[in-house]
Amino acid sequence: MNALNGIQPAEGSVSPHRIRLMPEVLSNKIAAGEVVQRPAAVVKELVENALDAEATRIEVRLQDSGKARILVQDNGVGMSAEDAVMGFKRHATSKIQTVDDLERLETLGFRGEALASIAAVAQVTIRTRRRDNDIGYLVEVHGGKVVRTEPCAMSPGTFVDARNLFYNVPARRNFLKTPATELKRAVMHFQALAISRPAVSFELYHNESRMYHLPAAVSEKEDDQLQERLLGLFKRRVEGDFIRVAQSTSYLSTFGFLGAACFGSKNRRDQFLFVNGRYVHSRLLGHAIASAYEGLLQEREYPFFALFMELDTSHVDVNVHPTKMEVKFDDERGVYSFVKAVCQRAIATGGLFPTIETAGAPITLPVSDLSGRAEENRGEWRSLTDRSPKRFDELTDLLYRPEPQTLTSAPDGDSRPSEHVKDTSLLWQLHDRYVFAQVRTGLLIVDQRAARERILYERSLRSIEAGSGASQQLLFPHTVELDPADFALVQEILPELSSLGFSIDNFGGHTIVMRGIPADVRQGREHEILGDLLRQYQENRSELKIIGRDNVAKSMARHGVGKGGERLSVEAMRMLIDQLFQCKCPYESPYGRATMIKVPFEELDARFMGKV
């Protein structure tokens, strides 16, 4: 059996300059260089094939970052014995036949190069069985040469086992990066494909240990499915860690999730963009999205996103080069502004806020001042509109339709419908420390102290940044003699202290006079505040290595929380939750503790059934 060596080199060649057709084995090896540059590319191609084959379950196993072995098993349509051999030939594809098909592509693959390329540079065994066949078929190819074909017993689907990648191309093998880097890239492609198909179940193993187990999403709606998948992949604590985005116009529609600002990361790895269903990279849109977070992320922090964009194929060039994943739009500036504005609005108006069910008046969550930014952005839109009047006029209107200023009710059951409940006992306090609230999907437990710390931290930070902290004058100025270290520290952070509302003068030596303190310092603690603050600042500096305004704000927050629990009225509980959800990052205290835990019904049910 020699199916792969279709064209043989001409024999008895005389001149070294004579043009000859390459043996297919050689041309495949060269083509492989384009398609298969690293293990991640093999993972991508094989998983895409499984998806194209309508698999609902895909399992990927890697050994040694994929260099030693990549196995992809699916329960898709499988191949006949004939096709299993054909599939290894270059330009062998079941997916397109005519040039028109190219325009209407619905499959991920179409070039018919992947299997041939992988098999040219690895030792590949395919076992495959069509659903309507009783028996499967095995084809083994080493470096482009078929070495074994035989029937085999297996369940329907396809199993591709690619071993020793680049075993016959040492130059390529040497070109690979460290195992950690290669693994990261492979995982990234796995994640992207898993995100693109939440209804398909995925598993990933590396060296026998399971990295991901992602059951098929069960929600009905597409965006809920996507959220399920993201929660499965990124192990966030609560669904509110993701901000929903959805906006459609006749030119472009976007849909997906952004990460809450506090989950910015130090690299761009967790950024997934899909244009017309394909995972792509776009610096342009990455920048547009990041700029929508303006002021919410630390420097050199990148937001998480998983965004799907659909637009007419005539407006976008998804580069069909096998490995490049760049996209180009026919109106880059317009798309940039659209994406930025859509994301800004999503960030400003929530997605962050879960539903708090309350008695009587629902908790209203005012749109934060970010909505003002969308307003500012109008100018930008206008100027764009001037440049390309027709297309973007329409978008502008859609985007800037006046929005209600409070998010109180949403009849269609989206992320924050407020459900009216008759009973006032839906907010409840446990041991003066935890607040329990009924939410649409189950139970929300808020840690009072952590929540208060978050609220005070953000408030202090705002005061420091704006230099606008309200001050209360002390009736009797308070004179304090500080030790030299504390005195130096007060001098160092005096601008921050003043912004918070402290009014401090130097009395000579290491003595200071405190005439005013921040307005919200509790009565009876006026004389402790400065000492507390300095102590906490020093602790934060030595233990957390933070300085400056962040440290001052954290120290203020810690002081304000005080020690022990506190009895809260229902009104106070409601206010606490309300204020917490107005924070930029409501889910974590400034010291990194969770402020809340959400217990979904499913978990309660599972516990009662003894499954947890």
Query: Where does this chain bind ligand ADP (CB under 6 A)?
Result: 45, 49-50, 52-53, 74, 76-79, 87, 92-95, 109-116, 158
Query: For residues 554 and 542, what is the distance between their CA atoms, to the nearest angstrom?
Result: 14
Closer CB to ligand ADP, 9 or 151, in the complex: 151
Closer CB to ligand ADP, 197 or 244, in the complex: 197
- Could you say which of Mg ion, ligand ADP, none residue 92 binds, taking C-beta under 5 to 8 angstroms by partner kind? ligand ADP
Contacts of 277 (CB under 8 A, 6+ apart): 108, 196, 308
Among 321, 289, 316, CA closest to 305: 289
Shortest reach from residue 419's CB to ligand ADP, in Å: 46
Contact assessment for residue 379 and residue 396, using Cβ atoms and an 8 Å cutoff: no
Among 91, 99, 93, CA closest to 31: 91
- Could you say which of Mg ion, ligand ADP, none residue 458 binds, taking C-beta under 5 to 8 angstroms by partner kind? none
Closer CB to ligand ADP, 115 or 169, in the complex: 115
Task: Tell me the DSSP string of 406-466.
Answer: B----TT--S-PPPEES-GGGEEEETTTEEEEEETTEEEEEEHHHHHHHHHHHHHHHHHHH
- Could you say which of ligand ADP, Mg ion, none residue 111 binds, taking C-beta under 5 to 8 angstroms by partner kind? ligand ADP
Query: For residues 171 and 405, what is the distance between their CA atoms, to the nearest angstrom?
Result: 62
- Could you say which of Mg ion, ligand ADP, none residue 50 binds, taking C-beta under 5 to 8 angstroms by partner kind? ligand ADP
Query: For residues 14 and 565, what is the distance between their CA atoms, to the nearest angstrom?
Result: 93
Per-residue contact flags (x/-) with Mg ion for residues 38 to 77, judged by CB under 5 A: -----------x----------------------------
Shortest reach from residue 92's CB to ligand ADP, in Å: 6
- Could you say which of ligand ADP, Mg ion, none residue 79 binds, taking C-beta under 5 to 8 angstroms by partner kind? ligand ADP
Task: Please give the residues from 92 up to 111 whose contact with Mg ion meets the rule CB under 5 A.
Answer: 109
Query: For residues 540 and 542, what is the distance between their CA atoms, to the nearest angstrom?
Result: 6
- Could you say which of ligand ADP, Mg ion, none residue 557 binds, taking C-beta under 5 to 8 angstroms by partner kind? none
Question: What sign does the CA torsion over 42, 48, 49, 54 have?
Answer: positive
Closer CB to Mg ion, 110 or 251, in the complex: 110
Shortest reach from residue 323's CB to ligand ADP, in Å: 14
Closer CB to Mg ion, 109 or 362, in the complex: 109
Residue given tokens 């209203």 in the structure block: 364
The three-class DSSP label of residue 19 is: coil
Shortest reach from residue 113's CB to Mg ion, in Å: 8
Contact assessment for residue 50 and residue 76, using Cβ atoms and an 8 Å cutoff: yes
- Could you say which of ligand ADP, Mg ion, none residue 494 binds, taking C-beta under 5 to 8 angstroms by partner kind? none
φ and ψ of 250, to 5 deg: -70, -20
Which one among 42, 84, 114, 258 touches Mg ion, defined by CB under 5 A?
114
Among 5, 138, 42, CA closest to 84: 138
The three-class DSSP label of residue 163 is: strand
Shortest reach from residue 52's CB to Mg ion, in Å: 6
- Minimal CB distance residue for ligand ADP: 109
Per-residue contact flags (x/-) with Mg ion for residues 478 to 507, judged by CB under 5 A: ------------------------------
The three-class DSSP label of residue 495 is: helix
- Could you say which of Mg ion, ligand ADP, none residue 87 binds, taking C-beta under 5 to 8 angstroms by partner kind? ligand ADP
What are the residues binding Mg ion (CB under 5 A)?
49, 109, 114
